[in-house]
Structure 1
């Protein structure tokens, strides 16, 4: 048993909440334990709500202050998902010892590369870093080192890893989360929203320090460092191919002509949404696109009777959507989209039993081994090793599955050294299955 396995089941760092009433005597006759203190509501930033930085002069002062600060810097970003087109940042929050908290408006200060440069070499603390890094990268803020408190919580085995849940269970404070889904493109931003935004970074440094100690206690701190380094060094993801295929309800669309309607409507909607800077769902819902694709309406009047194209939609709008439908209907068969997307890896696991029963047996054994190991290590399976990596190595295993060859295959798929060390022995056994 590894050190991590030996310590993973130990008592967690801190928990809050109620328990059985204390009658002064424990069930086994031992002295009663101290009750867990109730979490404390965190209502105000310790230095108050800072002014919003929205001009070059104020930004220069923030850059100077944060460059002179000490220790890691807590960073967060607010987007306007569901309101505006894209995922740009509409507010950036930072906190550092010696500098306090800053709220920066990327609309007034669209280039924050100077702030990013001032923090070069500093560890950035983010919660769910992969969500915020793309919008931060767009405005010139790119960390060289980071600590992801959500990922740290996953590796440490916490059952709930949202920021509010982590702050409560680890630090004993309650964050007010009522403004997480508001329209952050609103100007001016209301004071309650700014208070919420400042509080999101108020305790990130404290949370990071507590989680670092917990990971070290469990023997997982080096694992976390490898994961954080992988996030920080990862290149931006390539643009999605055929993003229209991700339209909600796409599984109902079977015929190629109907798929072409989805593609045309999705493309027209995206163009309009980008021009108007609004969320595509506010222009036309996914459900309406699917309804039109399935019905293939012959004219705008019939289209107006479909769900999502009701009386509130003007004639001009109906005609533009009908034009998109008509374009799809007029396409020659050679230009219709093919069902499904080109596979770049193994086939879906449900098809393995027919295509390659031995590979299916390998995958079954590998999945069982990974599940058991993840449970023993007290962390989610997908953090131990990605399901896609397991599928790929089981579909095309090394000719001679040895620890060295399997480890090399895992590294080729992007597995970190700690993951390779943990899963390789079990995967070698699974890959040596030669009969179904």
Structure 2
């Protein structure tokens, strides 16, 4: 490992790096560092690559700009990432998009490893301890300190070795096809559409019921989001969610009352007081939002016993059966089957709840073939058992 790392921020250095990477062998380890919690955008501020016989390369995407030649050089190679779903969006934003991946975190989950963070996986497989002291750093900082660059380089320098150890374990466990399907699904998973009402994600918003309180929360959220986008600062650093909720609950009657509210804090709470007061005044005359958002999702399972006893019985028995199957397969239950898929099935099962119909419903929800093969039959059996148990209970009661 190099004693000193240099960030590639010129076109000449970039061209040399691409040539070296193209001449390397085997998979390409890739990672990206963002400035979450500091910046409004989720763009990458550092992109790290490692390839055997080529070395480690740290790119400044804000200076490089065009990564098309790098994309051409590595597009068809296997990319090794840890928790790929976290980085693919910001990599694609600069034109880096893999055709195939190996996700070391996902592989560790499928193998049932007790801890799946990169440092833990590296320590278990390679016996090397990684310090993670810069994981929450502001990577938009320039220049980046050497200690940060060393940390970033280690995230990819060991990743191919980790990949090889995990691949061996997947073969030994008979899970290589499972992993292939999961990796493929990660690459091709469509991006989530923007939330229709993103302000409803305010932490603690469920405590507000009055349309007037909700209108103020909505107006303040949009005012904060506009300022965050203008300044490229994380919204919570301007005004925390708790401060917005405090104002929405209190409903101050004047700008002075707003300024005097101690719970309304944050770096921009007073410097932008006119902005916040204008938002509150706007909320007074705006059409208030609905107290609850219509959704096709089932209600929380805690309400099922009284609202839909049949669905409650189906969910309880199927959840236990899927949990047993996950334990037998040595993986977390959420990797065997997305919990939301099971809830939706239990709430609205197919008319003819055979294993084939259950499998078709799971496929429509987005389950992979291996998940359907592992769970459709046991879910169908659980649904039959649930119906029988309710019939028996009714018969006993009569």
Return the TM-score normalized by structure 2.
0.94
Alignment of 1:4-403 (within 5 A): 46-309=1-264, 317-331=272-286, 335-403=287-355
- Distance in 1 between residues matched to 2:271 and 2:165, nearest whole Å: 58
For the residue of structure 1 that corresponds to 2:61, the secondary structure is coil
Question: For each residue in 1:393-427, what CA deviation from the matched residue of structure 2 results, as whole angstroms up to 9, or x when unmatched?
Answer: 11221222222211111111111111111111210
What do residues 29-76 of structure 1 show as CA deviations (whole Å, max 9, x unaligned)? xxxxxxxxxxxxxxxxx2444421112221111122212211100000
Give distance in 2, aligned partners of 1:176 and 1:275: 35
Once structures 1 and 2 are overlaid, which stretch shifts more, 309-318 or 177-186? 309-318
Residues 108-140 of structure 1: CA distance to partner in whole angstroms, max 9, x if unpaired?
012323212211110000001111111111111
Q: Secondary structure at the match of 1:401?
A: coil
Per-residue CA distance 1:223-253 (angstroms, 9 max, x = gap)? 1111000001112221122111111111221
Following TM superposition, the consecutive aligned residue runs of length 4 or more in structure 1 with deviations greater than 4 angstroms are 310-316
Q: CA RMSD in A?
A: 1.6
* Cα distance in 2 between the residues matched to 1:374 and 1:337: 42
Task: State the SS of the aligned residue for 1:425.
Answer: helix
Q: Is the 8 A contact 1:304 1:311 kept in 2?
A: no
Task: Tell me if the contact between 2:238 and 2:267 (Cα under 8 Å) persists in the aligned partners.
Answer: no
Contact 1:309 1:318 in 2 (8 A): no
Alpha-carbon spacing, 1:289–1:65, altered in 2? closer, same or farther (3 Å): same
Q: What are the ranges of 5 or more consecutive residues in structure 2 without an aligned counterpart? A: 391-398
Between 1:344-353 and 1:288-297, the stretch displaced more is 344-353
Residue 365 of structure 2: which of 400, 413, 422 is its match?
413
CA distance in 1, matches of 2:235, 2:125: 38
Aligned-partner Cα distance in 1 for 2:266–2:59 = 42
TM-aligned CA distance change 1:209 to 1:348, over 3 Å: same
How big is the shift at 1:355?
A: 2.7
| Superposition deviation, residue 384 in structure 1 | 0.5
**Cα offset, 1:311, TM superposition:** 10
Q: Could you say which structure has the higher helix fraction?
A: 2
Q: Give the superposition deviation at 1:92.
A: 0.2
TM-score scaled by length of structure 1: 0.86
Size of the alignment, in residue pairs?
388
CA contact (8 A) 2:18 2:69 kept: yes
Matched, 1:425 2:377: yes
